[in-house]
């Protein structure tokens, strides 16, 4: 009996010490005292909350939203992504997109869809009839249309819906795919590279990029442009039809391993992949390619046990309409932790001091943070998994909103407090 009481006292002391440490550090931090901060720390082995500060309050999550898209994908997609669906009608093959972004994407493995379409003997026709989305999500900044981080959404992206500009050692500018070579215009009034808002005319200064650098610029997409880009890439005609394939027996072509998408999306915080992932979720559940319907379906069927219902509006976190609580983020992290083997999960996430958005913080010989960061102007959040010096895995969400200091100052405080948690416990 005494042994049981002793063990319980040690566990209680540990919980209290974590809570005391977090509260003390928040109180004494001049950086964190001037804005809204929410923290939740949870021990999944003991199923116990170790620290909580405003964890029931709603915060703008920024790219922490991708954790929700990640879980949605894990819930319905298998080891490989469904790349397209098709039906053969006589001498014609009519195909439609599933939202899969991998076709000719420069940063993903080669999609099997390309070889499939290249080798088919039938005439090819692309149908976008299952697509019901706007090109931008709700709450996105309209004037970010030319930013690499805000490509347009579409049913069947090609080349990531981007044009990639690269400069050589002489600072000459090249663009890929070559389809866009005749759409470049030298403009001495433009710094760098900028696309016209309503058309694919890329204006660039004489020396737009330093030697050896590259820049992605989103393309103004249309269904006809998708068919045209495919035709050039496949060296064969691709027609455009608005033919609904609903209720008909469709075959599926799988494209790339799902983890290839997850890893890039989570590590470098790729917004385009996250947005398209929610369309993949919709297709897997036989819904129209519509983000709003996909989110409602995911909340009802896979996320109905969260402590606070999320206000979830897009797949990537570009929208400032998104609102989550820290304790809801931790509950989601627990659900992911239960679904994905630890080694695989940690390989997919950004690792502190090593990869992705966390490569420049939490530096040291020992990697102990595996997480997803989220940044918007005046907002920074970090949610994920922390391995303590004693080998315990803790789940945490550290959310910061409406600060007027620099983001780097806030990141350093988040790093300092979480590093202390690792070292002490």
Q: Residue 140 CB: number of other CB atoms within 10 A?
A: 21
Position 41 in a domain: yes
**Residue position matching structure tokens 């950086």:** 31
Position 106 in a domain: no
Chain centre distance of CA 91 = 39
Supply the pLDDT for residue 9.
37
Type and span of the H or E element at 380: strand 379-387
What CATH number corresponds to the domain at position 394?
3.40.710.10
Nearest-angstrom CA–CA distance, 27 and 23? 6
Nearest-angstrom CA–CA distance, 238 and 80? 25
In angstroms, what CA-CA distances link 128 with 82, 100, 107, 199, 252? 16, 13, 25, 20, 16
What are phi and psi for residue 186, nearest 5 degrees?
A: -70, 130
Query: Domain of 170?
Result: 158-220
Asked whether the beta carbons of 33 and 308 are under 8 A apart, the reply is: no
Position 88 in a domain: no
Nearest-angstrom CA–CA distance, 218 and 158? 11
Token code pair at residue 161 = 């819906």
Please, what is the angle between helix 66-76 and helix 258-267, to 10°?
Answer: 170
Position 304 in a domain: no
Reported as half-sphere exposure (CB side, CA atoms, 13 A), residue 161 has a value of 29
Q: Is 62 helix (H, G, I), strand (E, B) or coil?
A: helix
Last residue of one domain, picked from the residues 202, 220, 238: 220
Supply the pLDDT for residue 16.
67
Position 123 in a domain: no
The Cα diameter of the chain in Å comes to 82
Sign of CA dihedral 241, 242, 248, 249: positive
Type and span of the H or E element at 49: strand 48-53
Supply the pLDDT for residue 170.
83
Position 234 in a domain: no
Asked whether the beta carbons of 23 and 422 are under 8 A apart, the reply is: no
Type and span of the H or E element at 193: strand 193-195
Q: Which residues of the chain have pLDDT under 70?
A: 1-16
Asked whether the beta carbons of 115 and 109 are under 8 A apart, the reply is: no
Q: What is the value of pTM for the model shown?
A: 0.94
Supply the pLDDT for residue 205.
93
Supply the pLDDT for residue 14.
55
Position 274 in a domain: no
Chain centre distance of CA 379 = 17
Nearest-angstrom CA–CA distance, 205 and 194? 9
When divided into structural domains, the chain yields a total of 2
Last residue of one domain, picked from the residues 175, 192, 220: 220
Q: Is 6 helix (H, G, I), strand (E, B) or coil?
A: helix
In angstroms, what CA-CA distances link 184 with 174, 177, 200, 204? 10, 12, 9, 7
Supply the pLDDT for residue 171.
82
Asked whether the beta carbons of 58 and 323 are under 8 A apart, the reply is: yes
In this structure, what DSSP letter does residue 177 have?
Answer: S
Last residue of one domain, picked from the residues 220, 235, 264: 220
Nearest CA among 399, 412, 363 for reference residue 67: 399
Supply the pLDDT for residue 233.
98
Supply the pLDDT for residue 15.
56
């Amino acid at each position: 009996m005494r042994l049981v009481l002793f063990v319980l006292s040690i566990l209680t002391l540990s919980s209290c010490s974590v809570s005391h440490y977090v509260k003390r550090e928040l109180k004494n931090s001049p950086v964190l005292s001037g804005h809204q901060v929410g923290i939740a720390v949870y021990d999944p082995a003991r199923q116990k909350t170790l620290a909580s500060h405003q964890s029931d309050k709603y915060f703008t999550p920024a790219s922490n939203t991708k954790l929700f898209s990640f879980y949605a994908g894990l819930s319905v997609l298998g080891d490989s992504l469904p790349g397209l669906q098709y039906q053969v009608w006589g001498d014609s093959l009519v195909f439609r997109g599933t939202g899969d972004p991998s076709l000719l994407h420069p940063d993903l493995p080669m999609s099997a869809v390309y070889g499939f379409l290249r080798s088919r003997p039938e005439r090819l026709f692309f149908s976008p009839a299952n697509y019901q989305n706007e090109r931008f999500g709700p709450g996105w900044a309209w004037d970010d249309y030319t930013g690499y981080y805000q490509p347009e959404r579409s049913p069947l992206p090609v080349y990531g819906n981007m044009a990639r500009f690269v400069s050589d050692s002489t600072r000459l500018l090249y663009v890929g795919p070559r389809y866009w070579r005749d759409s470049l215009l030298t403009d001495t009034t433009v710094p760098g590279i900028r696309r016209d808002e309503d058309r694919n005319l890329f204006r660039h200064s004489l020396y737009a990029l330093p030697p050896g650098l590259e820049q992605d610029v989103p393309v103004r997409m249309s269904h006809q442009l998708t068919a045209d880009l495919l035709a050039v890439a496949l060296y064969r005609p691709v027609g455009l039809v608005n033919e609904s394939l609903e209720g008909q027996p469709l075959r599926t072509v799988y494209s790339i391993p799902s983890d290839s998408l997850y890893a890039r999306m989570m590590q470098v915080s790729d917004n385009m992949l996250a947005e398209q992932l929610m369309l993949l979720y919709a297709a897997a559940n036989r819904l129209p390619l519509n983000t709003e319907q996909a989110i409602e379906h995911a909340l009802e069927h896979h996320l109905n046990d969260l402590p606070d219902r999320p206000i979830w509006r897009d797949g990537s976190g570009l929208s400032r309409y998104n609102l989550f609580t820290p304790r809801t983020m931790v509950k989601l992290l627990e659900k992911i932790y239960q679904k994905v083997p630890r080694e695989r999960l940690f390989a997919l996430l950004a690792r502190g001091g090593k990869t992705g958005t966390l490569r420049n913080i939490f530096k040291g010989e020992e990697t102990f943070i595996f997480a997803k960061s989220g940044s918007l102007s005046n907002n920074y959040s970090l949610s994920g998994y922390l391995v303590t010096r004693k080998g315990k895995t803790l789940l945490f969400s550290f959310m910061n909103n409406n600060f007027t200091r620099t983001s780097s100052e806030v990141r350093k405080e988040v790093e300092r407090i979480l590093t202390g948690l690792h070292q002490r416990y």
